Amino acid sequence: MTPPDAPTLDIRNLRLALPGTARPVLDGVDLTVGPGETVALVGESGSGKSLTSRAALGLLPRGAVAEGTVRVDGQDVLTLDPERLRALRAGKVAMIFQDPRAALNPLRRIGDFLTEGVRSAGTLDQGAANARATELLTAVGLDDTVRRKYPGQVSGGMLQRVVIAAALMGDPALLLADEPTTALDVITQAEVIALLTRLRASFRTGLLFVTHDLDLAAAISDRVYVMYAGRIAETGPAQDLFERPRHPYTAALLAATPRLTTPGGRLHAIPGQPPDLRASLTGCAFAARCPLVADDCRESAPAAAPVPGAPGRLTACHHSDRLVPEGQRPDA
């Protein structure tokens, strides 16, 4: 039995290689999510966020070669046989995708979508599955009559709530949310975020929230992982990390975030492009775009190291101390 304080998701040294690439698309990823904890995974498109979250479901691209461990509720997903992997997906881990309409068959009623997973896994019979669906629809703020409707008869915001209810049907220990609010208007987005926060607290479900929206990550998460080119650049408590970034990439992302307090002028942008997967990589992945780059950055990849005076903070940067104002340095 998994200890109650053990991580719901525990990824250690995850490396993922794909055919046709010169380097791993995921390169030594370490990430944990505790019971009832919300962890945000942020970064530019193509940084490896979605691949990392899907690894927790065992949904790896064709031809992928994985190393390391990906434990969900104590089970290493990378070593499970197909039958045990299906059982894990039916009960221990679930995912909310970005586009709810892509998850539902438009020719089947919503009630069938909600109950088919637990019925096919044999965890609930038809009557119990229907009762569970009604309970969860109420929990996400929807009337039970939604079960009799088709996806085309309800709004996108309602469908996202349906998908959240479906993800909770098997009482998962871990919920993976891959950009679940990107396609929604700001009001519906706020409602969905409030709903996820409430359900996480009620069900003690660990939540891995994948997003490119830094403000949203700061608002919803307990801890944040910043990912770049398949590597974790920085991690730590959300408020502390965003107020005092200790990796140049995190600082650049924050500088590129539009602010109402500074209207007018041009938006900041990070110069250059992420490294090409078809080329080998020596040194820090961010070196070619970094304003603090030095010779050692190009020669060796920095390992994640604790940030002095900041509990729970790790950063993978040779020169993170240069991001701290003189008066705030521990040795000042």
Range with lowest mean pLDDT among 15-19, 163-167, 256-260, 270-274? 256-260
Strand 93-96, strand 231-237: pairing: unpaired
H or E segment and range at residue 226: strand 223-228
Q: Taken in order 244, 270, 214, 16, is the CA torsion positive or negative?
A: negative
- Flag whether pLDDT at 332 surpasses 50: no
User: Which comes out higher in pLDDT, residue 330 or 187?
Assistant: 187
On whether the CB atoms of residues 90 and 123 are closer than 8 A, the answer is yes
Distance CA 83, CA 86 (A): 5
Residue appearing with tokens 């979250």: 53
For residues 218-233, average pLDDT: 95
Q: Which tens digit of pLDDT belongs to each residue from 47-88?
A: 999 999 999 999 999 999 999 999 998 999 999 999 898 888
Residue in the block written with tokens 């995974």: 41
pLDDT digits (tens, 9 = 90+) for 102-115: 888 899 999 999 99
Q: What is the pLDDT of residues 176-212, one digit of tens each?
A: 998 887 767 777 778 778 878 887 777 788 999 999 8
Top-tier CATH class for 9-92+204-258+267-328? alpha beta
Strand pairing report for 38-42 and 223-228: parallel
User: Model pTM?
Assistant: 0.89
